[in-house]
Amino acid sequence: MEENSEIGSKRKKLGFWKWAIASVVFRLILSYFSKNLNLSSRPEVSTPLTSLRRLAEAYWLKQLSMSPYSGSMYHGSPLLLSILGPLTVKKIEGQPSHLLCSLLSVVADFVSAILIRATGCSLVTAHGHNLKSLGLDKLFKDTEILPSGDIAALVYLWNPFTIISCIGFNTSPIENLFVVLSLYGASAGQIPLASFGWVVASHLSLYPLVLVIPVIFLLGYGLDAPPRKLFFQSNLRDGEGRSADSVDLKSLPNKSIKTTFFSWRRVIFFFLWSSIWISYLLILCAISMKEHGGLGEMFKRTYGFILTVKDLSPNIGVLWYFFAEVFDFFRKFFLIVFHVNILFMILPLAIRLNHRPCFLVFVYLAISSMLKSYPSVGDSALYLSLLVLFVNELAEMQFSFFLFCGYVGVSLLSPVMHNLWIWRGTGNANFYFATAMAYACFQIILVVESVSAMLNYDRKIRKICNSAKV
């Protein structure tokens, strides 16, 4: 039996690597024809913050000793400009080529998938250990625990959103890589790596700042588990039924007791490392912007641009249409409302899902994707893959098929409505905005249903534990 299980695991591993390599080859083939596909001009793929065309224009301005933020073309990091700028002017056989940038995106996607897979393997291992600690492993022995890490990694590699972002000549794969790097570092307990990924991801797109809360929970409490109250009760039972005041919790034999205590030491180290990385990044940015206005100009043209929503070109979000219609007198008020709306959701979700930090990362990313100033399909590609990490816990999630059809329908209708509006002139902005509204609604339903399914799973575990105690 053991030999058969080993053979089965080896086949699964070989199957994963075959599909992973096939996805890389598929990307390389599409990258060769990327000019004909012309995805870099699609508003669903490239945004004012992620477009490499704008980055190439800014690099050309910098080569002419002008500020890369001149005009209203570039609004990204000056460090990203220094790294990717030379790649946008490389020539192959006398023709400008995007192959090097596409190759970098392919590598970023592949590394992200490997890190997602490693995080998923840790979650599956922790899931089995938690059930065993609660004495529920025998009750769930007939339930097959799916390799969520492999599934999530393959979903990320073969998701059409990810593939389009990869060959769409934008920086979304690089931003996603640093978000996943932070998640992997926190779940693996590698504090310098977690802080580095979080700092760089926040520097590139600002919105990953909210991920500091689930990262702190990951470092303080550990990986996702059922509510800690169940472990506390289980440890008390192992302590021969004594009261909580008379039990030395640290002396109890059950290893799951570590989930009931918060490790402030690791969190303090995380903030120390984050301060080091932030200082280092700011110094490099100050050197890069020394002759072009300094850090003040960078903050104004990057984070200020994100928060003020100055570019109202169409995208798959909802802010561009709203601020195109709202009176200027109310503009600042609604800017505050939209941005603070994200912050209002952080604390309640953190209180309710503090025992599920990895799942909390998915929730925060999905909410940010809905309400951010300039969203793209690359944002959806990331949070959909992280959702699959919890395929075992969300097995009873409702409206899955409805949501799948909704995402597919919006993906097909969005370019059609954009074409009717911009090129054929037989439609108007309402056509395209309707697909953006539908897309936002599907994302809301996805977040609500996934959170409900996770809470129902925790309630199921709690009921089984209480019935076993009786």
Cα-based distances in Å from 348 to 216, 259, 352, 453: 16, 21, 6, 17
Query: Given pLDDT bands bounded at 50, 70 and 90, which one contains residue 332?
Result: confident
String of b and e for 236-248 (b: at least 16 CB within 10 Å)?
bebbeeeeeeebe
Predicted local distance difference test score (pLDDT) of residue 262: 77
What is the token pair recorded at 230?
Answer: 């169940």
Locus of tokens 């490392």: 273
Locus of tokens 């072009």: 292
DSSP 168: T
Return d(Cα 436, Cα 319) in angstroms, integer: 10
Q: Tell me the per-residue pLDDT of 311-331, one tens digit each, with 9 for 90 and over.
A: 888 889 888 888 888 888 888
Is 328 exposed, middle or buried (CB count within 10 Å of its CB: 0-12, 13-18, 19+)?
Answer: exposed
Return d(Cα 204, Cα 80) in angstroms, integer: 8
Cβ atoms 123, 151 nearer than 8 A = no
Whether pLDDT at 93 is above 50: no
Q: Give me the DSSP letters along 410-442.
A: HHHHHHHHHHHHHTS-SS-HHHHHHHHHHHHHH
Predicted local distance difference test score (pLDDT) of residue 73: 82
What is the token pair recorded at 30?
Answer: 């599409």
Q: Which residues pair with 92 in a beta bridge?
A: 95
The number of angstroms, rounded, from the C-alpha of 307 to the middle of its chain's C-alpha atoms is: 20
Torsion sign, CA atoms 33, 57, 302, 440: negative
- Helix, strand, coil share of the chain (percent; to 5): 75, 0, 25
Give me the residue spans of the domains in the chain. Answer: 2-469
Predicted local distance difference test score (pLDDT) of residue 244: 35
DSSP 312: -
Q: Which amino acid is at 258?
A: K
Report which of residues 153 and 91 the model is more confident about.
Answer: 153
Predicted local distance difference test score (pLDDT) of residue 211: 93
Return d(Cα 225, Cα 212) in angstroms, integer: 19
Predicted local distance difference test score (pLDDT) of residue 198: 94
Q: Which of 88-102, 191-205, 249-263 is predicted least confidently?
A: 249-263
Predicted local distance difference test score (pLDDT) of residue 260: 57
Predicted local distance difference test score (pLDDT) of residue 84: 86
Write out 20-87 in H/E/C secondary structure. Answer: HHHHHHHHHHHHHCHHHHCHHHCCCCCCCCCEHHHHHHHHHHHHCCCCCCCCCCCCCCHHHHHHHCHH
Tell me which residue of 371, 306, 320, 326 sits closest to 345, measured CA to CA: 371
DSSP H or E segment with residue 88: none
**Helical H segments across 134-221, by residue range:** 148-158, 160-167, 172-188, 191-205, 212-221
Locus of tokens 């206005």: 293
Cβ atoms 57, 194 nearer than 8 A = no
Phi-psi category of residue 29: left, alpha or beta, with phi > 0 → left and psi -120 to 50 → alpha: alpha
Average pLDDT over residues 376-401: 89
Report which of residues 241 and 264 the model is more confident about.
Answer: 264
Cα-based distances in Å from 95 to 27, 54, 89, 90, 99: 21, 19, 10, 9, 11
Predicted local distance difference test score (pLDDT) of residue 235: 55
Average pLDDT over residues 374-403: 90
Report which of residues 57 and 363 the model is more confident about.
Answer: 363
Predicted local distance difference test score (pLDDT) of residue 62: 84
Cβ atoms 211, 194 nearer than 8 A = no
Cβ atoms 392, 126 nearer than 8 A = no
Return d(Cα 253, Cα 233) in angstroms, integer: 14
Query: Given pLDDT bands bounded at 50, 70 and 90, which one contains residue 159?
Result: very high
Total number of residues shown for the chain: 470
Q: Which of 50-59, 81-90, 101-110, 439-448 is predicted least confidently?
A: 81-90
Predicted local distance difference test score (pLDDT) of residue 55: 87
Tell me which residue of 467, 458, 233 sits closest to 355, measured CA to CA: 458
Average pLDDT over residues 55-75: 84
Mean pLDDT comparison of 123-132, 139-148, 353-362, highest-scoring range: 353-362
Nearest-5° angle of CA 94, CA 95, CA 98?
135
Average pLDDT over residues 21-48: 84
Cβ atoms 119, 389 nearer than 8 A = yes
Q: Tell me the per-residue pLDDT of 241-262, one tens digit each, with 9 for 90 and over.
A: 343 333 343 343 333 334 457 7
Return d(Cα 224, Cα 355) in angstroms, integer: 6
Q: Which amino acid is at 60?
A: W
Average pLDDT over residues 131-156: 74
End-to-end CA distance of the chain: 35
Q: What is the average pLDDT value for the chain, to the nearest integer?
A: 82
Whether pLDDT at 234 is above 70: no
Predicted local distance difference test score (pLDDT) of residue 133: 72
